[in-house]
Amino acid sequence: MKEFYFELKEEGQGPPVVMLPGAYATGAAWKGVQSALKTDVRLISTSLPGYGTTPEVRPKSDANIEHLIEFVGQVFDAIGEPSHAVGHSWGAHLLLAAILAQRIKPLTLVCFEAMPIFASPSQGFFPWRPDVEKMVSRLEAALTDGDEDAASIIIDFYSHPGTFLSMPENVRAFCRASAPTNLRDWHSAATFTPSFEKFASFDLPVTLVRGSETPAPISDVNEELIAYIPKAIEKIVDDAGHFLISTHPRACAEILDEHLVRA
């Protein structure tokens, strides 16, 4: 496997905490949470492939999540010492995949709005699965048709109608440019289909965080993860949705502080 390029941004002193953002974001998404943290740690962040200064690592004809698992592995290899792992949304998804593949072995894990939504529950597919697949098809069709606001299909689904249009123009511009990468993310996500029972192999402290107003796919997936990860606990941020690390950074920082002290 070839070596990937990525930029690591570090601040603070103490045990390393690697923070992966979600889609439509860069490492700067953690700024509010990082500023509110009280625990002395070394905060390390990067952007995922195709976002910010991190180039795409997936071949054009192959979106398999294995490429992204290897990317996450190389990020942790670059730290060179045992680290805590923190992820939001797509970043949390990739951390779960990399741990399950035994590519990384972090000290602990915190997932904000984890979304391995193509994993398989024991009772069969979730009832919302067809809606998610239709949403991805709508995104692909919108991009093919040249719809400059195609990103709104995903962003509004995870929040509420009108969220995309309410964002500052510079943020919308970033999302418009990132929409093709996000479509590839969805194609990659669809290749990660373990049964939730597989997560019973996790042997590390895990905190799963979601907003009280998060959409059904996130809450249902988190319930499955809580049921199978032996050392997992759940935290719910009141009045928060999927983008809680931006809208409720202090509450998220308090949860992360508690997790690190407990660890």
Q: Could you please report the per-residue DSSP string of 31-65? A: HHHHHH--S--EEEE-PPTTSTTPPP-S-TT---T
Rounded to the nearest 5 degrees, what angle is found at the Cα of 193, between the Cα atoms of 83 and 197? 70
Checking phi first, is residue 124 left (phi over 0); if not, alpha (psi -120 to 50) or beta?
A: left
Give the global pTM. Answer: 0.96
pLDDT, tens digit (0-9, with 9 covering 90-100), for 149-207: 999 999 999 988 999 999 999 999 999 999 999 999 999 999 999 999 999 999 999 99
Structural domains of the chain, ranges and CATH numbers in brackets:
9-122+193-262 (3.40.50.1820), 129-188 (no CATH)
3 state DSSP class of 10: strand
CB 124 within 8 A of CB 216: no
CB 79 within 8 A of CB 202: no
CB 209 within 8 A of CB 111: yes
What pLDDT, on a 0 to 100 scale, did the predictor assign at position 160?
Answer: 87
pLDDT band at residue 124, thresholds of 50, 70 and 90? confident
Give, for 88, the enclosing helix (H) or strand (E): strand 84-88
What pLDDT, on a 0 to 100 scale, did the predictor assign at position 21?
Answer: 98
Indicate if the pLDDT at residue 1 is higher than 70.
no
What pLDDT, on a 0 to 100 scale, did the predictor assign at position 116?
Answer: 95
What pLDDT, on a 0 to 100 scale, did the predictor assign at position 258?
Answer: 97
**β-strands 42-45, 9-11 pairing:** antiparallel
Per-residue pLDDT, averaged over 19-41, amounts to: 97
Cα gap 230→207, rounded to integer Å: 11
Tokens of 211: 């907003």
Per-residue pLDDT, averaged over 10-14, amounts to: 94
pLDDT band at residue 41, thresholds of 50, 70 and 90? very high
pLDDT band at residue 242, thresholds of 50, 70 and 90? very high
**Backbone φ, ψ for residue 109 (5° rounding):** -140, 135
Averaged confidence pLDDT in the chain: 96
